[in-house]
A = this chain, B = another copy of it.
Amino acid sequence: MLIVAVDVMSGDREPRERVAGVLRVLRLDGDLRALLVGKPAEIAPGLERLPDALRERVEIVPASQVIAMGEAPRTAVRRGRDSSMRVALNLVKEGRAAACVSAGNTGALTAISHFVLKTVESVERAAIMSAVPSSRGHTHMLDLGANTGATPLQLYQFACMGSIVARDLYGIEAPRVALLNIGEEDIKGHEVVQAAHALLGDGGVRYVGFVEGDGIFSGEVDVVVTDGFTGNVALKTMEGLARLIARRTRREFQSSVRGAIAGWIARPVLRRLAEGLDPRQYNGACMVGLRGVVVKSHGHADATAFARAVELAAHAARGELTSHIAQAFGA
């Protein structure tokens, strides 16, 4: 039985939304237990009237504090000792849970994860990694914002870790790894990407060179590596544009009788399109490089989206992500 610790308090929505997401996963995955971390009074109502077989696989672990979405990472580490986030990470550290999920403040989650779990030996910094849609399925990207920058060595390490995750969690045999840059030619980009390019050229991963932003979606690479600033901007840009297009599509189909008729006939088609681009389907990003599995959920996640993050945590723990990375880094 796999045990996942879930910080159900942190995030933009009510805790019950995340509790509902966890329960959804538990119903589908009979081999999973969840430790719901937070204020019992806010969690317990969501667990009423559950069938015994399900109720037995859920346990509330009390934590009195909640780290605010805007709280500075340093303060979060210093003052949030009994926060749901910290307690959930402690459960992983103590071996009581195999993975942890939180929809909280990214900066705080990164700082507390590094502080509580530490990185795998010789890994300098953990990175946030997630799948984004591409023309042939998915591309895996990191770092999506665990850090505000990256050194060449860190980019190299992200590439190695990303390659392991793509192989071991997503079954891509020899993942093609690329560095995000502002041109594909060897001479392009700033000093940091240039130095990382040189490091990656020396081997260790199947490095295919630079890609530009549009290369993320081409299906020609499996793992795209970048620093956390650029990666986070790219990810949020995708989310914003996808939402803009969805809104415009709705508006155009509603703007005329002809559009409305076409929209009615095209409903299944439009629904499939919307689902394929629904950011909720992509919710959940692994924080790779830590001594333990940590999954970051989008702060806005509803039950559907949060369930995805919980599934990802279980998948990563079962795939023994942490020990595979540790082996690769010779720890």
Specify the main secondary structure of chain A where it touches its partner: helix
Q: Is residue A226 contacting chain B, with contact meaning CB distance below 8 A?
A: yes
Interchain nearest-CB distance for A97 vs B (Å): 28
Residues of A within 8 Å of B, CB-based: how many?
Answer: 63
| 9 A–B contacts from the bound complex (CB under 8 Å) | A70-B187, A107-B183, A213-B238, A214-B236, A229-B230, A238-B241, A248-B276, A252-B269, A253-B269
Supposing A133-B244, A252-B273 touch, asked if A182 and B213 sit within 8 A by C-beta, the answer is no
Given contacts A240-B213, A245-B245, contact A232 B266 (CB under 8 A): no
Contact status B243-A214, CB under 8 Å:
yes
CA A54 – CA B244 in complex, angstroms?
41
B237 touches A234 (CB 8 A): yes
Instruction: List residues of chain B with CB within 8 A of the CB of A235.
Output: 213
> For the complex, is A331 an interface residue (Cβ under 8 Å from B)?
no
Q: Give the number of times this chain occurs in the complex, counting copies.
A: 2
Per-residue B-contact encoding for A51-69, CB less than 8 Å = 1, 0 else: 0000000000000000000
- The CA-CA distance from A134 to B248 in the complex, in Å, is 10
Per a CB cutoff under 8 Å, which of B233, B241, B243, B272 touches A212? B233
- Give every chain B residue within 8 A of A72 (Cβ-Cβ): 187
Beyond A182-B236, A237-B238, 4 additional contacts (C-beta under 8 Å) are A148-B189, A255-B269, A256-B268, A259-B269
Of the candidates B182, B241, B262, which one forms a contact with A145 in the assembled complex, judged by CB atoms under 8 Å apart?
B182
> Given that A218-B240, A244-B135 are contacting pairs, would A213 and B234 also be in contact in the complex, using a CB cutoff of 8 Å?
yes
| Nearest-CB residue, chain B, relative to A253 | B269
Give the complex CA separation of A190 and B147 in angstroms: 9
Given contacts A228-B182, A245-B245, contact A213 B239 (CB under 8 A): yes
Contact with B along A116-133 (1 / 0, CB 8 A): 000000000000000001
The chain B residue with its CB closest to the CB of A133 is B244
Q: Which single member of B241, B248, B255, B265 contacts A241 (CB below 8 Å)? A: B241
User: Is B229 touching A217 in the complex (CB atoms < 8 A)?
Assistant: no
Q: Is A185 in the interface zone, CB < 8 Å from B?
A: yes
Q: Are A262 and B269 in contact (CB under 8 A)?
A: yes
Interface string of A257-283 (1 = CB under 8 A from B): 011011101101100110011000000
Flag whether A188 is at the interface (Cβ < 8 A): yes
Interface contact B237-A277, CB-CB below 8 Å: no
> Which of B215, B216, B239, B262 is A262 in contact with, Cβ under 8 Å?
B262
Which 8 pairs of residues, A with B, have the shortest CB-CB distance? A213-B236, A214-B240, A262-B266, A213-B237, A262-B265, A148-B190, A182-B232, A217-B240
Q: Which residues of B lie under 8 Å from residue A217 when comparing CB positions? A: 240-241, 243-244
Q: Does residue A247 face the partner (Cβ distance < 8 Å to B)?
A: yes
| Pairwise interchain contact B248-A182, C-beta atoms closer than 8 A | no
Chain B nearest CB: distance from A300 CB in Å?
Answer: 11
In the complex, chain A residues 98-125 whose Cβ is within 8 Å of any chain B Cβ: 106-107
CA distance A247 to B218 in the complex (A): 11
For A249, list chain B residues within 8 Å (CB). Answer: 273
By a CB distance below 8 angstroms, the chain B residues around A214 are 236-237, 239-240, 243
